[in-house]
Amino acid sequence: MDRWTRALAAGMTLTTAALLIGCEDTPLTPGEGWTMDVVAQPSVVTLEAGEATATLIATVANDTGVPQSGVSVIFSNAGGELASGSAGVETDGAGRAVDTLTIRDADPDSIEVTASSGALTDTVTVAKSTSTVDNPPVADITATPPTEQVSGQTVVFDGSGSDDPDPGDVITMYRWRITSTNPDPGPERTYEGPGRASIGFPSSGVPAFVNVQNLTVELSVTDDPAAPFRFDHGLPVSYRASITIPYKIVTTSCASNAKPVATIAGADTQTKTGNGQPTVDFQLDGSLSTDAETAIGSYTWSCGNGSAPPPSQPVVTCTYPVDSVTRSYTATLVVRDLGNGAGQCVQTSTQDSVSIVVIP
């Protein structure tokens, strides 16, 4: 073999090796009837210190609507800077390819971003805002005891955890409104003022709860600097945020009733192979769940694929689709006990879960 022939053979060998390497982990190509949708979160950004970012999410699904992983999506932009540059971004297990667009002062006020994969394409627009946004405050309630109290005993509702996300802004006014299914005698329980961050029952001028009743506790807050002045002069106050919580006044304390324990039998990860079938069934057993004082009153299941079996069954069956790639689902169980038998003191367990792996 002469020198030229040896060189040609070596070149062909290298080319073949390169082709073989290039075939490994090749991204999927969208098939006929597949779809792709792209969104920007947020779609309107406010520049801070001359810069802002938006998250771009392109979701690819096959012709039956099942999200597809391992699909390469290329983002292109008419302004700003993409984190991916010109490289493709592969979709994850939820069929999502995620990129980041950074926008600066010099960029256009409106930037168009296009996501492409094979014959699929979709476009989203990110708008730039330089105005200062006055965000509303966030109301928060902490109750002591947390969910219920015995008639005539002390209850405290604390709203001091309410806050304003804007630097320098503070909560200036609080208003409490408490409604009841069986209200105590007297006027409606409404308490308002700049110093009403928390309120106790009983306290000065505030009576205890006497009747057995279900309460709805509403806290409204505002960050308006003029609100205290308007309140002091009998003018209406505009509240910008509210929150409500339920609360119970009961005849018997539930502190001695421990939470039940939810238990799903078997390993934390359970696997099943499709074997050419379109779906597979998993039997989930929650009969090992326990409660220290009473029997289990109810079982609440989630298959982790958007469906829920019939409630209050200790053993259920979940059906999962068999896809062309391995899929994982998280099945969960929550149980409740019987309380004190009079509809009070019902306790809910923490959630138990298992990972369901479906292999093609």
pLDDT tens figures, 233-281: 888 899 999 999 999 998 876 666 788 999 999 999 999 998 889 999 9
Q: What is the pLDDT of residues 168-225, one digit of tens each?
A: 889 999 999 999 999 999 999 999 999 999 999 999 889 999 999 999 999 999 999 8
Q: pLDDT higher for 49 or 73?
A: 73
Work out the angle at residue 211's Cα, subtended by the Cα atoms of residues 206 and 213, and round it to the nearest 5 degrees.
100
Above 60 in pLDDT, residue 20?
no
Q: Among candidates 176, 36, 199, which has minimal Cα distance to 119?
A: 36
CB–CB of 251/345 below 8 Å? no
Residue 171 gets which letter from DSSP?
A: -
Q: Tell me the helix, strand and coil percentages in the chain, rounded to 5.
A: 5, 45, 50
Tokens of 285: 């057993």
Q: What is the pLDDT of residues 324-348, one digit of tens each?
A: 999 999 999 999 998 866 567 788 9
Above 90 in pLDDT, residue 161?
yes
Structural domains in the chain, CATH included, are 35-129 (2.60.40.10), 142-250 (2.60.40.10), 269-359 (2.60.40)
Beta bridge partners of 89: 73
Question: What is the model's pLDDT at position 82?
Answer: 95
d(C-alpha 277, C-alpha 224), whole Å: 62
Above 60 in pLDDT, residue 14?
no
Question: What is the model's pLDDT at position 131?
Answer: 63
Please give the mean pLDDT across all residues of the chain: 88
Tokens of 331: 């099945």
Question: What is the model's pLDDT at position 218?
Answer: 98
Above 70 in pLDDT, residue 6?
no
Question: What is the model's pLDDT at position 9?
Answer: 47
Question: What is the model's pLDDT at position 296?
Answer: 92
Question: What is the model's pLDDT at position 253?
Answer: 65
User: Is the dihedral angle over the CA atoms 264, 266, 270, 275 positive or is it negative?
Assistant: negative
Q: What is the pLDDT of residues 268-324, one digit of tens each?
A: 999 999 888 999 999 999 999 999 888 899 999 999 998 888 888 999 999 999 999
